[in-house]
Amino acid sequence: MVLSIVKYPDPVLTTPARVVENFATHELRQLVANMFESMYAANGVGLAAPQIGLSRRLTVIDCSVGEDPAQQLVLANPEIIRREGKQTGEEGCLSIPGFRADVVRAMTVTVRAQNVDGEWFETSGSELLARAIQHETDHLNGILFISHLSTLKRDLIKRKIRKLQKDGEW
Ligand code: NI
């Protein structure tokens, strides 16, 4: 089922999400399946639970956008435990559609997380995957990519969004 994606400035996006406590349930598996389906429908490489209005520390990532099932990643209660190097690249967010900006991120990260069965695991990624892991983990802490921009750039985007809202186009 494709779920609708919550847009900035909905407060669920700027509130730290709650810990996932129930694993290996039908509900969690269904939620994860719906999140992948919703992400693919929106052509995204990552989607965090707060973006569907659910305050849970849960995110799905697939840098192949559905082309390669082996690249599907489910992270529950993730924590980035290592960051190496730097990369600068354009980033966007399904909750802030139509806006993109350069964001500096670590080049390689290692994340520790639980899978749908509640088992802890560690995985590492570089370049786009590292960017997605950092962007999605930020979401679970109530942080959006615009938080990483200069005040000037962030205010410009916020102003444009307010104008779109006023015009009924947001
Ligand atoms: Ni996002």
User: How much is the pLDDT for 112?
Assistant: 98
User: How much is the pLDDT for 57?
Assistant: 98
* Spacing, Cα 132 to ligand 1 middle (Å): 9
Number of domains in the chain: 1
3-state SS, residue 159:
helix
- The residue from 27, 79, 136, 169 that is catalytic is 136
Residue 145 domain-assigned (yes or no): yes
Amino acid identity of residue 30, one-letter, is Q
Residue 136 designated active-site = yes
User: How much is the pLDDT for 33?
Assistant: 98
Look-up of token digits 């570089």: 126
User: How much is the pLDDT for 23?
Assistant: 98
Quickly count: other Cβ atoms within 10 Å of residue 99's Cβ: 18
* Spacing, Cα 135 to ligand 1 middle (Å): 6
Residue 46 domain-assigned (yes or no): yes
Distance CA 80, CA 60 (A): 15
Residue 5 domain-assigned (yes or no): no
Residue 45 domain-assigned (yes or no): yes
Residue 3 domain-assigned (yes or no): no
Residues of the chain with pLDDT under 70: none
Token couple for 81: 């435990």
- Residue pair 115/121 in contact by the 8 Å Cβ criterion: yes
Residues 52, 120, 87: CA angle, nearest 5 degrees? 65
- Among residues 79, 95, 78, the alpha carbon closest in space to that of 11 is found at 95
Domain that holds residue 109: 11-166
* Spacing, Cα 24 to ligand 1 middle (Å): 26
Residue 6 domain-assigned (yes or no): no
Whole-model pTM: value is 0.97
- Residue pair 53/13 in contact by the 8 Å Cβ criterion: no
Report the CATH number that the domain containing residue 53 is assigned in CATH.
Answer: 3.90.45.10
User: How much is the pLDDT for 130?
Assistant: 98
- Residue pair 58/51 in contact by the 8 Å Cβ criterion: no
Cα→Cα distances 21→3, 30, 143, Å: 22, 16, 22
Residue 135 domain-assigned (yes or no): yes
User: How much is the pLDDT for 95?
Assistant: 98
Neighbouring residues of the ion ligand 1, judged by CB less than 5 Å: 93
Cis peptide before 9 (omega within 30 of 0): yes
Write the CB contacts of 35 (distance below 8 Å, at least 6 apart in sequence). Answer: 3, 47, 49, 52, 58, 59, 60
User: How much is the pLDDT for 2?
Assistant: 97
Residue 121 domain-assigned (yes or no): yes
* Spacing, Cα 103 to ligand 1 middle (Å): 12
